[in-house]
């Protein structure tokens, strides 16, 4: 897009919350943040409610896409939504991969999660308010723990996380990245949940407390305060095993792809929610 439209587009984006091509769409982030808020400890819930802006009405989900909307204003934040790994290698290593296009180390979604975790650890300590904007730190952290669970946010370098792979989603023209940000979730909502995101959230929440309850304990495990490297390694593996698999330029993706990948999306959304809560519970003790 042209530079002179920059302000207009940023404005329209703020008004209508149009999702961009990086990051789960609005619903993906909403789902993860809603699932997370249900699992907060009393202390963490209190800190989150103190830090949320008043317009959020104590609903973390409502501001979970804020980081996508400020990309124009905070231009520096764009590379913090993803990780580029070497093509076809299907592994992730922090020192090798966590950098931006200029090669500046730590500027990737894993580095951002570490950074905002550190900032939030200053909550309640003297002088923290003047040093950091902890409201923004909370909104960034909540968004980035979501993004790192979208398999194509830890994708190949040359196709920009499948942003350059043109496909059809049923009859619609899309790029593969967008299929994973939005289309799989949207189609699932339409087909199985009456087009109602709350019903999908309820279904995932139920699974977390029943069939996934044992696994959910393992998802939470982390010997530090935040464990983004674990999530990024899982992400590139899921990208290779499921997202990229069998897809080439011009592929038509329909029921076969949708039905076999939907469980992967559900799992990643659930893991994102459980781990965001666990991270916030470790930060605010």
Residues of this chain that bind Zn ion (CB under 5 A): 23, 68, 81, 147
In the complex, the smallest distance separating the C-beta of residue 30 from Zn ion, rounded to whole angstroms, is: 13
Q: Between 81 and 107, name the residue whose CB sits nearer to Zn ion.
A: 81
Contact 201, 35 (CB under 8 A): yes
Nearest to 61 by CA among 87, 99, 33, 100: 33
Closer to Zn ion by Cβ: residue 45 or 276: 276
Least separation in angstroms between CB 23 and Zn ion: 2
> CB of 5: closest distance to Zn ion in angstroms?
21
- Give the 3-state secondary structure of residue 174: strand
The residue ranges of DSSP E strands in 67-206, in sequence order, are: 83-85, 154-156, 166-169, 172-175
> In the bound complex, what is the minimum distance in angstroms from residue 249's beta carbon to Zn ion?
25
Alpha-carbon span 101 to 108, nearest angstrom: 10
- Cβ at position 63, least distance to Zn ion in Å: 13
How far is the C-alpha of 6 from the C-alpha of 73, rounded, in Å? 10
| CB count in 10 Å sphere of residue 166 | 12
The one-character DSSP state at 133 is -
Contact 236, 87 (CB under 8 A): no
Residue nearer to Zn ion on the CB measure, 112 or 270: 112
**What are the φ/ψ torsions at residue 83 (nearest 5 degrees)?**
-135, 130
Which residue, 147 or 189, has its beta carbon nearer to Zn ion? 147
Return the number of the residue (39 or 81) whose C-beta is nearest Zn ion: 81
């Amino acid at each position: 897009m042209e530079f002179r439209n920059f302000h207009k587009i940023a404005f329209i984006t703020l008004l209508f919350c149009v999702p961009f091509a990086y990051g789960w769409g609005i619903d993906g982030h909403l789902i993860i943040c809603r699932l997370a808020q249900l699992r907060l400890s009393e202390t963490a819930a209190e800190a989150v409610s103190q830090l949320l802006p008043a317009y959020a009405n104590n609903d973390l989900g409502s501001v979970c896409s804020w980081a996508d909307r400020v990309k124009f204003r905070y231009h520096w934040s764009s590379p913090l939504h993803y990780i580029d790994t070497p093509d076809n290698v299907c592994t992730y290593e922090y020192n090798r991969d966590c950098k931006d296009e200029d090669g500046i180390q730590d500027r990737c979604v894993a580095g951002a999660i570490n950074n905002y975790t550190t900032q939030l650890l200053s909550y309640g300590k003297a002088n923290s308010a003047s040093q950091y904007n902890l409201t923004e730190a909370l909104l960034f952290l909540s968004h980035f723990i979501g993004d790192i669970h979208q398999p194509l946010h830890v994708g190949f370098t040359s196709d920009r996380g499948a942003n350059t792979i043109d496909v059809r989603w049923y009859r619609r023209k899309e790029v593969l990245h967008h299929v994973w940000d939005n289309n799989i979730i949207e189609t699932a909502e339409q087909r199985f949940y009456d087009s109602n995101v709350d019903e999908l959230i309820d279904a995932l929440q139920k699974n977390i407390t029943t069939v996934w309850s044992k696994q959910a304990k393992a998802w939470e495990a982390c010997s530090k305060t935040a464990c983004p490297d674990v999530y990024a390694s899982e992400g590139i593996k899921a990208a290779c095993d499921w997202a990229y698999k069998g897809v080439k330029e011009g592929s038509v993706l329909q029921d076969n792809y949708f039905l076999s990948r939907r469980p992967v999306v559900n799992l990643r959304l659930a893991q994102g929610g459980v781990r965001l809560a666990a991270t916030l519970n470790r930060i605010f003790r």
